[in-house]
Amino acid sequence: VSGLEQLYQQIIMDHSKHPHGVGLTAGDETSHQRNPVCGDEVTLALRWDAADGTIADVAWEGSGCSISQASASLLATLAEESAEEGQPWTPEELTALVGEFREALRSRGAITLDEERFGDAAALSGVSKYVARVKCAMLAWVAAEDLLARRSASGA
């Protein structure tokens, strides 16, 4: 398998062509992230369960390269799967996931994302060998982190 095929795994190709979780509504509090180098954009919302303060849903909209768009789609899918399994993320859990994701992507290939924890999003591990593309893959996750920080700052 060539480096290019490791980067563009079928899961990433599928998610970039048929993204999940797309669609924001007027009431969403969003974080807008841009990669000025190539024009990638992701606007993302975390939808909170009012009862227990967990994350019920991740929704987003965006445009840009397949890595940035697939990464947002994979984050939304992972959130959906966690909620469906009756284990929706707490803010602390998502904060930890974003941290692990960043560490792996910045590892230049040294750390592979754990499929148990990251599901299909583990396919993004290949990005870590492509330093110029790490920012693309991080966009949605940085947006989530931004929203978590805002919520934490607001004392919720």
Residues that bind other proteins (CB under 8 A): 2-4, 7-8, 13, 17, 37-40, 63-67, 130, 133, 136
Least distance between other proteins and beta carbon 63 (Å) = 7
Least distance between other proteins and beta carbon 38 (Å) = 5
Least distance between other proteins and beta carbon 6 (Å) = 11
> Cβ closer to other proteins: 35 or 82?
35
Least distance between other proteins and beta carbon 26 (Å) = 25
Q: How far apart are CA 140 and CA 102, in angstroms?
A: 11
Alpha helix stretches (DSSP H) within 18-127: 66-84, 91-105, 115-118
With tokens 């991740």, the residue in question is 58
Do residues 75 and 144 touch, judged by C-beta distance below 8 A? yes
Torsions phi, psi of 70, nearest 5?
-65, -40
Least distance between other proteins and beta carbon 60 (Å) = 17
> Cβ closer to other proteins: 131 or 149?
131
> Cβ closer to other proteins: 123 or 148?
123
* Cβ-based neighbours of 1, under 8 Å, separated by 6 or more: none
- In 53-151, at which residue ranges do the beta strands (DSSP E only) sit? 55-63
> Cβ closer to other proteins: 31 or 35?
35
Encoding tokens for residue 53? 């303060």
> Cβ closer to other proteins: 50 or 132?
132
Q: How far apart are CA 6 and CA 110, in angstroms?
A: 14
